[in-house]
Amino acid sequence: MQIDWTHFTPWASLAGGVLLGLAASAFILINGRILGISGILGGLLRPRSGDAAWRIAFLLGMLTAPALYYLVGGPVLATVDTGWGTVIAAGLLVGVGTRYGSGCTSGHGVCGLSSLSPRSLIATLAFMGAGFAVVFFVRHLLA
């Protein structure tokens, strides 16, 4: 087995993790809410009075940040080794999973685990295990 070291990015990964942790910490300290993307987006589907503006601003920030990075740092080349059908199916399955799991990787994996929530530990183990199993099945058993 040959390792492709071009995909080994410890410093960029560490920086991203630190930024995500800081954002989650600031969000809970300032707003008293868990930084879970599925919950923020889901709250727009059934908005409460006075609750939509911050959600829209947060999601717009998530969409504009990559565009700003592109303007400053240039394009980031990424390859996806699958077709659009698989990407769409995976996105829909993740969406369904976040509804059944009452949260997503950012809510359970970042905020829930850092607050020592047993429920978040079980959810994180479940979605990570499912992800590992699906990748193994698709890459090694179907290939």
Is this prediction's pTM over 0.85? no
Q: Is residue 2 part of a domain?
A: no
Residue 110 lies in a domain: yes
48 in any annotated domain: yes
| 42 found inside a domain | yes
Residue 58 sits at φ, ψ, to 5 deg, of -65, -50
Q: Would 1 be classed as within a structural domain?
A: no
pLDDT tens per residue, range 126-140: 888 988 998 898 888
Range of the domain at 120: 7-141
SS3 of residue 94 by DSSP: helix
Is the pLDDT at 2 greater than 70? The verdict is no
Kindly state whether residue 70 falls inside one of the protein's structural domains.
Answer: yes
Please tell me the predicted confidence (pLDDT) of residue 5: 60
Domain count, the chain: 1
The answer to whether residues 112 and 120 touch, using CB atoms and an 8 Å cutoff, is: yes
